[in-house]
Structure 1
């Protein structure tokens, strides 16, 4: 596999930090697979008139994602807090700019999946993840979730779905990720990296 395709892109938007922490846990899972690394990236916020509204380089945290980061990844983990059962506007704004990658088929046949954080336990975790899968399907990606071989899916009393990792952040004082939520995130990252390695010969042939 070429050096340009040896990473899983963990791309997220986070406003209060919970989705960013999930991205970090997913990156830990990616690191379990030899020959793969995680590239963690975020997107800038948008203003009310939908223009990106942030300095060119973030003051702290992950760098902003470029389309080359997306184009050259071996796999994609897409994360967002829930907004009325859907992804947040900044992430949607970035994805809406990727028509050229769709036209060229740059992401076709690569594994991808989604993760989310919600304020309420039944606040739209699964619908948000499913909505985030739609652009992955349009890009021709192979959609991946979390299998029930991950025992934390059966044991969790907070977040976690077979569609993808989730976190119950709560309202007011934000709740930290539980051990089950961390395990599901790490399994998800490991699975994306493992599948990407197995698909690489077919993609590059």
Structure 2
């Protein structure tokens, strides 16, 4: 059984904070977490793609996606949508789609904005669309999580979020609680679906 892949793009560190907190939830559920990122892209056609990230986890490969048991996909919001570097990578996964490599794997999405009404929910929903095309099973956050009722910052039933006022990457208590819950739920779903597939049962 493969690890839970936590794939994200982060400019100022807020989305990275969410990714690390989700990974803690995955590991708390007894599953291994694999943190990966994507390279930046530039509007300059002559700009070179960096070979390695200057800091943080390695760049993702298609094999990382193929081999994972579940996926957490994160990006900051750009005009109500995922950032271009993440969209660029997702658009390169058509080979996995042709192979059906991600069918029936659970997935969740997460994002960060600099303002309270910065397009978090549209970003989460648009990030889920290509995962649905891949046949993945989307896992949100149920309202049985108390922090979803008490949060005055980030947090939605569509996935965990962070409000990075003044570019602060420090998660609130509720945001971190929801990240942990999201990671645990994703890992538990991955284990359950893997066990079901091992027994030969259909979804």
TM-score if structure 1 supplies the norm length? 0.93
Q: Which residue in 2 is equivalent to 1:185?
A: 179
3-state DSSP class of the match of 1:9?
A: strand
Structure-2 separation of matches of 1:59 and 1:78: 21
TM-score if structure 2 supplies the norm length? 0.94
**Stretches (4+) displaced over 2 A:** 49-55, 201-205
Tell me if 1:32 matches 2:28: yes
Counting only pairs closer than 5 Å after superposition, residues 47-196 of structure 1 correspond to structure 2 as 47-48=42-43, 53-171=48-166, 173-174=167-168, 176-196=170-190
1:73–1:120: structure 2 CA closer, same or farther, 3 Å change rule?
same
Give the superposition deviation at 1:170.
1.5
Q: How many residues align?
A: 199
3-state DSSP class of the match of 1:41?
A: strand
Give the superposition deviation at 1:60.
1.4
Structure-2 separation of matches of 1:179 and 1:196: 26
Give the superposition deviation at 1:203.
3.3
Structure-1 separation of matches of 2:155 and 2:61: 29
Deviations 1:123-147 (CA, angstroms, capped at 9, x unpaired) = 1010000000001100000011011
Q: Which runs of 5+ in 2 are unaligned?
A: none
Give the superposition deviation at 1:57.
1.7
